[in-house]
């Protein structure tokens, strides 16, 4: 069942200078779609545009087939959570306070239980809940950012380069968590520079080149690298792989 549909998104930061050009894709329940592409392809701008954080945007985002017209702060209320690449936790707030911010979307009676449940998923965070998030390591911050996004039980999770700046060991941990989250029924749109790691857990891949969709299909054929290299260099997915 399709959870999120993105139709003909054109987005950028200045009028008349789009970075994302006419992008459409859909996201099924429990599916991981990785958005990959060369630097400057518009991957991060695409997730920000879906989250309503880009000033210039046309096109349509639909949840369960219904267009979303709400402002950015209301997206969380309709089940879309976004984890930006940087500055994705409130550094002056404690771990628990960060989670309480996310939990505020839930009915009061469920908040404490849900915070405990999410802390169980990320044991590193559970040991020091009163620590300021600014004192966490890069990997722990990433975990907290994902935990904060997950706490209100979103149906769609938009992740912008969750592995950026992390050691290989931490990357494995983050990607295992993402796979587990999707296995629980959450649809994940994963923007990633670490293409190999992203393709390992993704069901589908959306390749963006110069703001346009160069390929939208199963992740498997891209794992060999040849097709991917050709797409990154401006070829099409229809050309035979040599």
Partner 1 sequence: MNPQFLADGILTGALLGLGGVGLTLTYSILRFANFVHGDFLTAGAYLALVLAGVLSQFLGGDGIGPFSFGWPLILALPIAMAATGVLALLLDWMLFRRLRRRGEEIVLVMASFGASLALRSLIEFAFTPEPKYYSQDLQIALPLGFGVRATPDQLAVVALAAASGLVLHVLLTRTAVGRAMRAVAENPDLARVAGIDPARVVRTTWWLGGGLAALAGVFLGLTVQIRPYMGFDLLLPLFAGVIVGGVGSVPGALAGGMIVGIAEALAVPIIGAAWRGGVAFLLLLAVLLVRPQGLFGMER
Applying CB under 8 A, the residues found at the interface with partner 1 are 51-53, 71-77, 81-82, 84, 87-93, 97, 100-102, 104-105, 132, 134, 148, 152
Residue 78 or residue 172: which is nearer to partner 1 going by CB? Answer: 78
114 contacts 153 by C-beta, under 8 angstroms: yes
The CA radius of gyration of the chain, in Å to the nearest whole number, is 18
Residue 6 or residue 227: which is nearer to partner 1 going by CB? Answer: 6
CB of 77 to partner 1, least distance (A): 6
DSSP H helices in the chain: 43-50, 72-75, 95-103, 108-121, 123-126, 138-150, 168-183, 195-201, 226-232
CB of 236 to partner 1, least distance (A): 34
> Whole-angstrom Cα distance, residue 78 to residue 155?
9
> Whole-angstrom Cα distance, residue 75 to residue 184?
21
CB of 4 to partner 1, least distance (A): 15
217 contacts 237 by C-beta, under 8 angstroms: yes
> Whole-angstrom Cα distance, residue 31 to residue 158?
12
CB of 109 to partner 1, least distance (A): 14
Residue 2 or residue 100: which is nearer to partner 1 going by CB? Answer: 100
Could you give the count of Cα atoms lying within 13 Å of 226 in the half-sphere of its Cβ? 7
CB of 214 to partner 1, least distance (A): 28
Residue 87 or residue 238: which is nearer to partner 1 going by CB? Answer: 87
Residue 53 or residue 62: which is nearer to partner 1 going by CB? Answer: 53
């Amino acid at each position: 069942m399709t959870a999120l549909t993105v139709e003909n998104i054109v987005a950028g930061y200045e009028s008349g200078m789009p970075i994302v050009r006419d992008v459409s894709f859909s996201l099924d329940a429990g599916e991981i779609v990785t958005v990959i592409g060369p630097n400057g392809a518009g991957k991060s701008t695409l997730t920000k545009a879906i989250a309503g954080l880009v000033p210039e945007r046309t096109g349509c985002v639909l949840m369960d087939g219904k267009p979303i017209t709400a402002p950015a702060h209301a997206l969380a209320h309709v089940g879309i959570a976004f984890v930006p690449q940087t500055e994705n936790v409130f550094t002056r707030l404690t771990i628990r306070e960060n989670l309480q911010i996310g939990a505020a979307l839930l009915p009061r009676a469920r908040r404490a239980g849900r915070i405990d449940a999410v802390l169980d998923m990320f044991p590193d965070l559970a040991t020091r809940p009163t620590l300021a998030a600014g004192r966490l390591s890069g990997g722990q911050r990433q975990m907290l950012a994902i935990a904060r996004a997950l706490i209100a039980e979103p149906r769609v999770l938009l992740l912008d380069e969750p592995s950026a700046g992390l050691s290989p060991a931490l990357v494995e941990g983050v990607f295992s968590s993402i796979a587990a989250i999707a296995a629980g029924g959450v649809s994940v749109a994963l923007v990633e520079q670490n293409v190999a790691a992203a393709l390992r857990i993704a069901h589908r891949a959306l390749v963006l080149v110069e703001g346009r969709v160069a390929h939208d299909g199963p992740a498997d054929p891209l794992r060999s690298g040849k097709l991917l290299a050709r797409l990154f260099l401006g070829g099409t997915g229809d050309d035979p792989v040599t």
